[in-house]
């Protein structure tokens, strides 16, 4: 119920979220796939405003100057296709981590630490999969901090659509926190993972990506645990129902 109410509040505050955030059209054309992948790489490196259509077309090996306009209409359409690609990469990872949390909940062993790790895991897993996964994470970071509010708000909406399903777990584990606080903490966990991984690529190029991910995941989990615990005890000192059962 809260997830639906929060979505309504977002729509009232940011009407642009009402517009479909996913690009239309199946990603079946080889030319289209090539342009999306090249755009992903260019935006990851130069940002949404630094990556130009001419650079993207040239880097993808397209000699047809109208290829981008034919497949996407304009740069905004290409950007939506890139976000669509990122979402398709994240969806199965989010579903897998959700199933882990649900299984732990049913067994009565789900803890705040496990929830934190499960929320951060899809982003870190995507980052570890391949170079394209790293590009996806870096693009998310660019968009979250973009001066264009439609990109920033739209990206937050995307993350909420993907990770809002974890809210019932937060409601059980953080009963003393308000629904708004629980929602913010979930998104904070995802965004924090995006930021630390992006920072690791830019500032630790001599280390292997796997080593970076493992180090940053651990650091991030510890930091998020602190935030979760401080938020959950801000109002009362009561433990969550699952933790009470485990201690009794």
- Residue showing tokens 């079946």: 28
Q: Which two tokens stand for residue 93?
A: 């990872």
DSSP annotation of 74: S
> Model pTM?
0.75
pLDDT band at 156 (very low <50, low <70, confident <90, very high): confident
Q: What is the C-alpha to C-alpha distance for residues 119 and 116, in angstroms, rounded to an integer?
A: 5
Name the least confident of 13-27, 31-45, 68-82, 184-198: 13-27
Q: What is the C-alpha to C-alpha distance for residues 37 and 32, in angstroms, rounded to an integer?
A: 9
pLDDT (tens digit per residue) in 85-117: 999 999 999 999 999 999 999 999 998 888 888
Name the least confident of 69-73, 160-164, 181-185, 198-202: 198-202
Q: Which two tokens stand for residue 242?
A: 């699952």
pLDDT band at 224 (very low <50, low <70, confident <90, very high): low
> Are the C-beta atoms of residues 201 and 212 closer than 8 Å to each other?
yes
Q: What is the C-alpha to C-alpha distance for residues 88 and 83, in angstroms, rounded to an integer?
A: 9
What average pLDDT does the chain have? 76
pLDDT surpasses 60 at 202:
no
Q: Which two tokens stand for residue 90?
A: 């994240």
- Range 16-44 average pLDDT: 72
Higher per-residue pLDDT: 149 or 229: 149
Report in angstroms the alpha-carbon separations of 93 from 45, 53, 76, 101, 162: 24, 31, 26, 13, 10
DSSP annotation of 147: S
Q: Which two tokens stand for residue 20?
A: 């479909």
pLDDT of residue 199: 73
Name the least confident of 38-42, 156-160, 184-188, 241-245: 241-245
Phi (first) and psi of residue 64, to 5 degrees: -75, 115
Higher per-residue pLDDT: 146 or 8: 146
- Range 129-135 average pLDDT: 93
Per-position b or e across 237-247, b if 16+ CB within 10 A of its CB: eebbebbeeee
pLDDT band at 223 (very low <50, low <70, confident <90, very high): low
Report in angstroms the alpha-carbon separations of 124 from 54, 164, 167, 245: 32, 18, 20, 31
The share of the chain scoring above pLDDT 70, in percent, equals 69
Share of the chain residues as helix, strand and coil, in percent rounded to the nearest 5 = 80, 0, 20
DSSP annotation of 17: G
pLDDT surpasses 50 at 61:
yes
């Amino acid at each position: 119920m809260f997830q639906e109410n929060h979505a309504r509040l977002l729509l009232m505050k940011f009407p642009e979220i009402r517009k479909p955030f996913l690009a239309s059209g199946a990603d079946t054309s080889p030319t289209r796939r090539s342009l999306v992948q090249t755009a992903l790489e260019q935006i990851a490196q130069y940002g949404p405003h630094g990556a130009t259509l001419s650079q993207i077309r040239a880097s993808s090996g397209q000699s047809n100057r109208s290829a981008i306009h034919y497949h996407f209409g304009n740069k905004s359409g290409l950007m939506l296709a890139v976000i669509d690609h990122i979402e398709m990469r994240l969806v199965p990872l989010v579903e897998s981590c959700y199933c882990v949390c649900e299984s732990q909940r049913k067994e009565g062993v789900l803890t705040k630490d496990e929830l934190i790790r499960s929320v951060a895991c899809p982003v870190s897993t995507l980052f570890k999969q391949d170079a394209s996964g790293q590009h996806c994470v870096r693009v998310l970071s660019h968009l979250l901090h973009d001066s264009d509010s439609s990109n920033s708000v739209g990206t937050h909406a995307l993350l909420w659509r993907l990770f809002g399903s974890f809210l019932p777990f937060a409601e059980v584990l953080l009963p003393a926190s308000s629904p708004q606080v629980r929602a913010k903490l979930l998104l904070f966990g995802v965004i924090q993972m995006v930021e630390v991984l992006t920072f690791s690529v830019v500032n630790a190029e001599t280390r292997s990506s796997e080593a970076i991910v493992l180090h940053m995941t651990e650091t991030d989990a510890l930091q998020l645990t602190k935030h979760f615990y401080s938020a959950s005890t801000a109002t009362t000192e009561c433990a969550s129902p699952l933790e009470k059962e485990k201690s009794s």
